Structure 1
């Protein structure tokens, strides 16, 4: 266990620095990497990949390549110094939220469940980049022979991205077509590649993809970051603040991630000569926070892409005052409900003394409860309550 904790402590010191500029993106070496934002993506990818193989949606060759590509990206994110896109200003770079604090140890713990299993993975032979490149080339040939395999185009796009072949990655994403149309994470990934390939210009395709991703999932972290960066690049500092303030609510108050994002918000406020955030809106006394957990014997009934909804309502009122959405792959889920997640500007959690709190896990993400949804017992809590524990332990008949 000791090496595990040493590795975890060391790797959390790597900060991901990546800000956009409307005219100039420079490549330079940095100790920063992009692990924290990619952590959730990797975890989701692995779960979906295993599910696809079990259901016969992909063959063994495609599975092996995708698994190798995930491991390759994971390896690169933890042992290499990446080249990242940064502003020419060191100060801006230092305050960029980029892609959040890297927690490789936590990522692997989420994947495998224990430090002992992490050690087992560490002892597996590491594929060389040359091996991965050969497999990517083989998949490329295979995709040209079977262009209707849209899932394969996504795997190829992400493989190209991991190898730094951004132009090829964008082309592969484009050929994935309808497969990504309803997946906010894939849309955000596509937007990221398209903006990168356009030297930081979000006009046109990147912006449209970001907008579509946020329409599907207003809380998608990558999409929120890119939306703020796009606004910042156009000197729309007010817009950048709005997107990043929404993003910061996805993290526990006073966490390292939240502090980095808040620094970027402060930079945008300074650039736009905007007033500071209202104390009431940011005060933890005007929010409800805690953690959502899923009962152990129900975990087999939930897939990674199911939607988790944390809902706060005024007592006796059906209309929510705040809703936070996330994917089931993020469970156990830290949540913060405040005015930034309000359904309407006239019904704010900060105006209430107490709220009813409930959590629902849905296969479809529909607002109305459906048979088969998993849910928690509704509880009434004081506004300002912290460290709440909400257990999803029931199934709607």
Structure 2
């Protein structure tokens, strides 16, 4: 805050200068007027002496005129360069009073309408917190300073959950939903906090929240995990296995929580078998699609392109959304090149190669770097997304 107040002080000095400089100028002008008045008085006194000397016969008329002219020249020399007096209606008291009121009013208005607390929070967040408690205090202050910030509320709710404060987290997530809308992720977080705040008792409210979240996004991970926990606690082991298997499909291969999740599935399976049940086998997952494509440039186009031109290689469904299912970006200098397009390159999770039986391969050169428009293009014939044989794709046609 010191640098802020230093900057504010400099600005205040600039403002005061506009008020005090006229006062100082008026003092200087007054001194010049006093000096001018003194010179005029001396001139009049000199003229009076010359008149007395003329009356006494000491000076004749010519000498009298010469003396008067000399006194006038001296008066003109003394008053030369003196500006005309300025007429002001404010006087000296008004600027001095304004110089006192400006900083006082400015400070009062800033303390009332300003954002000193937000400035201090910004400085605090620039430094790493020393403990979780310190982070919680910062987030609480951020929420108090910005009560309409859904992001601050969300992070505060997550922090409360890590500190085993689910009741506080549930209230915060409810406020977050009211501000940011009923997004599936927020509904899942709210349902999870409410479930633990109620002592791990399933309620109609938690059921409604998870249902709404999964209806909007069937892959919402928090709701899937929570439903699995509730099913396990209710000894509905097959439901728990199903929910956790669905969750397992959404997690990246290197996610550390996969180990704990797989352990939960194993325990639910053991308890189901011990109770006389049989674990239902999950349907076999559809194999991931992976297309190998060798991309080259037609011979007659090599002189028309530049090494830095962008090359976009993608696969799109022949019968489906126009958005690419998988894409890679190269440059002309990289050609010829072999690339792989698979489910891991999906632009969106629901638009995977393996979800569409037939696709088309496209390669486009765009000097402007735009994947949707370019100068030249190459297209393949429709092929099955399960194709494993390497494909050849040549850029040979103008992009129209």
TM-score normalised over the length of structure 2? 0.40
Structure number with the bigger relative contact order (C-alpha 8 A, sep ≥ 6) is: 1
TM-score normalised over the length of structure 1? 0.40
Judging by fraction of residues, say which structure has more helix. 2
Larger Rg: 2
